[in-house]
Amino acid sequence: MSIRLGDNQYGKAETHVVRITKGQTHDIKDLNVSIALAGDFAESHLEGDNSKVVPTDTQKNTVFAFASEPVGEAEEFALKLGRHFVKEFAAVKRARVTIEEFPWVRISVGGKRSPDAFMRRGAEKRLVLVTCRKNEEWVVAGLSDLVVLKSAGSEFWGFPRDRYTTLQETHDRILATAVTARWRYAGATTIDWAKSYDEARRILLETFAVKRSLALQQTLYDMGEAVLASRPEVAEIRLAMSNKHHFPVDLTPFGLDNTNEVFYAADRPYGLIEGTVVRDDAPDGALAW
């Protein structure tokens, strides 16, 4: 029968390693590391021959072992892991390392930052996705679960109407969204990862805050364009932004006005806007994702 194995990959997902580096003050890195290997693994699928299958347990051990030295930025740690698997195992043609980093901030004590006590800075995560092949590699950085809202400067009108359209046009709405942004670096892997991340995040936030929005699509594009415009090391940025609807509540049955101040925050359904902003001369990065 003409049935065959197609694309496949496997690995250990969500190895949650916390690395404390102890000097005069302590530093913390809190990383959730997922590894996916692709390559020459047909025998395992077809015959249960595991002679080339690096156990996912070994992958987990490798994460912990590599954390015995300071891990640096998550991009560096991911590159170190990815390179290890493609270099050490002939069967591994591609190693993909995904890291979610949970940010912590120092607890403030009497106005001074504690040397060794920390507080989680919320739901937002920093993301890294590294893809290594035998002689190529790609680095994608990003963030997720960044929830932002603007109560001025957002409109939505001029859209087509059909039989099923009941939405009113608005020149003043709340725009709230959970941002997932991932940007691909152009080639070099000698970037100042921390600075590039901090700047991209700052630009995303400031652009969201400042730019008038006629559509969430426009906001998404503006945010992506602003990152590319000021960060030459970024080749492409992909954004996914939910439209977390805040509906003005009709208070007229109660004899009350609602001058766009009282809103019902809905859970579902929600809009979902996804888009890419890319530099025209960017090297191809299809395999990076």
Nearer to its own copies, 178 or 190 (CB): 178
Active site residue 22: no
Q: How far is the CB of 174 from its own copies (least distance, A)?
A: 7
**Active-site residue among 56, 58, 80, 93?**
56
30, two tokens:
């809190």
Pairing, β 26-39 against β 15-22: antiparallel
Q: How far is the CB of 75 from its own copies (least distance, A)?
A: 19
38, two tokens:
């692709």
Separation of alpha carbons 67 and 17, rounded Å: 8
> What count of Cα atoms within 13 Å lies in the side-chain half-sphere of residue 260?
12
Q: Are 78 and 99 in contact (CB under 8 A)?
A: yes
Q: How far is the CB of 265 from its own copies (least distance, A)?
A: 4
Q: How far is the CB of 250 from its own copies (least distance, A)?
A: 9
Name which of 151, 126, 143 is nearest 223 in CA terms.
143
**Active-site residue among 29, 60, 245, 246?**
245
Name which of 267, 100, 74 is nearest 180 in CA terms.
100
Separation of alpha carbons 71 and 181, rounded Å: 23
Nearer to its own copies, 194 or 270 (CB): 270
Nearer to its own copies, 194 or 266 (CB): 266
Nearer to its own copies, 35 or 190 (CB): 35
Q: How far is CA 169 from CA 4, 133, 241, in A?
A: 53, 50, 21
Nearer to its own copies, 190 or 269 (CB): 269
Separation of alpha carbons 118 and 114, rounded Å: 8
Active site residue 56: yes
Q: How far is the CB of 2 from its own copies (least distance, A)?
A: 4
Cα Rg for the chain, rounded, in angstroms?
23
Catalytic residues, by residue number, are 12, 56, 245
